[in-house]
Amino acid sequence: MEFAFIILGLYAVDGDTLRVRETGEVIRILNIDTPETGSRARCNSERARAAEATRRARALIDTAKDVSILRSGRVDIYGRTLAKIRLDGQDLGARLVAEGHARPWRGQRESWCTPATAVHGSGGRAGTVRR
């Protein structure tokens, strides 16, 4: 069951996580995966792509006249509300996928790095793969 609400103060924490300013509710966009930010990124390329995805999500939200949250009624393991976001009638997740800032969620995190650039956390160097 989906529940739609019109929201005015929505902020992109990163490419697939949003916060409702009025309530502090944290929302995970359903069915997409975006690159990880900060120390969760596995390489510099992933970190840079995450920044691009975050900027794009923020720009789309900030320019939308009509923002709706369609809550699934479920939460993820981090307590985030799982929901679809509609901006002026368009699905935000689908738009981020179409523009190359996200990919469809396949049930587990997949690498955004090539083996040559993969590192673990922020302590590694490009070209080093830690196991």
Domain boundaries, the chain: 3-104
83 forms bridges with which residues in the sheet? Answer: 29, 71
- CATH code: domain 3-104 is 2.40.50.90
Nearest to 4 by CA among 72, 102, 60, 99: 72
pLDDT for position 8: 58
Nearest to 18 by CA among 63, 53, 65, 66: 53
Q: How far apart are CA 121 and CA 104, in angstroms?
A: 23
**Per-residue pLDDT at 131 exceeds 80:** no
pLDDT for position 124: 42
pTM of the entire structure?
0.81
pLDDT for position 38: 87
Per DSSP, helices labelled H in the chain are: 44-63, 92-98
Among the residue ranges 24-28, 39-43, 70-74, 76-80, the one predicted with the least confidence is 39-43
Contact 31, 93 (CB under 8 A): yes
pLDDT for position 130: 35
